[in-house]
Amino acid sequence: MEGYTIGNEKMFNSTAVSHFLLLEFSEVRELQFLHISVFLMLYLATATGNLLIISSIALDHHLHTPMYFFLMNLAAQDLGQVSVILPKSMINSLLNTRHIPYSGCVAQVFWFLFFVTSDWCILTVMAYDRYVAICNPLRYEMVINRQACAEIIAGVWIAGFLYAGIHTIGTFATYFCSNVVNQFFCELPQVIQLSCSHLNPIELSNIVVGTLLALGCFVYIIVTYVHIFTTVLRLPSAKGRQKAFSTCIPHLIVCSTFIFTGCVAHLKPTSKSFSWLDMIFTILYSLVPPMLNPVIYSMRNKEIKTAMSKLLRLRYIARNT
């Protein structure tokens, strides 16, 4: 593979690459270990929180309802999202390398897109679930039953696979003029920047479709919550209003965090050279929501807090018997 060097970046004459070079936080070994420590703490916090959500819902039969079924799937998607990107970055720092195989980069792009797309779809579905439960309670069991939940989640997963697959194919169906990814994982905008040519029609159509779908879901969530809050404020019982708000507010905060961090990261211009601002925004949208979601739901939802307390108490008793 022929190439030439500009600064620290290796450029390629429109030939296929066998590997990519991820962002190196520092050449100083002590700072590399600091990077490993910070990312390890973030990963453990995210994994612990989401595993607690999944275990609490799975083991408490009182939480075997559609709302918590969707929440359990959201936690699984969040856990998968961070597991796709953080371990490789930590391993690279540990081994003092920047390499990721071509196939590994393809896998990161695909699975990260899959989990992010599925996350957004589940958040939209959860808004619909709350709408039916609060605005049409008499039809809830008929509309959101066990079969419907299974079909909805299957649809979310299929949509995530299709969108991620088509997007990944469109991204890598091109030649790259560089193999240096200015990010700690193969982030889609950064990989697209490496292309020798402009966006191909497939990838351009993917971006347009993805943007329209994301905006459509956003508008749907906003309209849904306008109807929900209008209905809740009309409830005669203060206890009923409080219960409705306790199930809606966490979901609305999670949606807002996801939307805000995602928009900040993707609406700004992508730099072709390394930028600390780019990295900070990427960390905000890729790591912060999955880490905060369990905290938000456990703090605002009494049933989740009760289930977690029971689970932790059982583990404590089992450890001491």
Helix (DSSP H) and strand (DSSP E) numbers for the chain: 11, 4
Q: What is the pTM of this model?
A: 0.86
Query: Could you tell me the pLDDT band of residue 14, with boundaries at 50, 70 and 90?
Result: very low
Q: Which residues contact 178 (CB under 8 A, 6 or more apart)?
A: 9, 10, 11, 12, 194
| Higher pLDDT, residue 76 or 310 | 76
The tokens describing 59, both together, are 């083991």
How many Cβ atoms sit within 10 Å of the Cβ of residue 99? 14
Residue 169 exposed, middle or buried by CB count within 10 Å (0-12, 13-18, 19+): middle
% residues pLDDT > 70 (the chain): 87
Query: Could you tell me the pLDDT band of residue 6, with boundaries at 50, 70 and 90?
Result: very low
Please tell me the predicted confidence (pLDDT) of residue 282.
Answer: 85
**CATH among 1.10.10.60, 1.20.1070.10, 3.40.50.1820, 3.10.150.10 for 16-319:** 1.20.1070.10
The predicted-structure confidence for 241-280, as pLDDT tens digits, reads as follows: 887 777 788 888 888 888 877 777 666 666 666 677 778 8
Please tell me the predicted confidence (pLDDT) of residue 125.
Answer: 94
Q: Is 237 helix (H, G, I), strand (E, B) or coil?
A: coil
Q: How far apart are CA 138 and CA 275, in angstroms?
A: 53
Please tell me the predicted confidence (pLDDT) of residue 158.
Answer: 94
Please tell me the predicted confidence (pLDDT) of residue 72.
Answer: 94
The tokens describing 53, both together, are 């959500």
> Is residue 168 over pLDDT 70?
yes
The tokens describing 305, both together, are 């807090």
Please tell me the predicted confidence (pLDDT) of residue 161.
Answer: 94
Q: Are β-strands 19-21 and 9-12 bridged in parallel, bridged antiparallel, or unpaired?
A: unpaired
Mean pLDDT of 109-136: 92
The predicted-structure confidence for 226-245, as pLDDT tens digits, reads as follows: 999 898 888 887 777 887 77
Q: How far apart are CA 104 and CA 18, in angstroms?
A: 10
Q: How far apart are CA 197 and CA 130, in angstroms?
A: 45
Residue 269, φ and ψ in degrees, nearest 5: -65, 140
> Is residue 100 over pLDDT 90?
yes
Please tell me the predicted confidence (pLDDT) of residue 270.
Answer: 61
Q: Report domain extents, the chain.
A: 16-319
Please tell me the predicted confidence (pLDDT) of residue 175.
Answer: 83
The predicted-structure confidence for 50-76, as pLDDT tens digits, reads as follows: 999 999 999 888 888 998 999 999 999
Q: Is 251 helix (H, G, I), strand (E, B) or coil?
A: helix
Place of tokens 């296929």: 16
- Report whether 123 contacts 253 (CB < 8 A): no
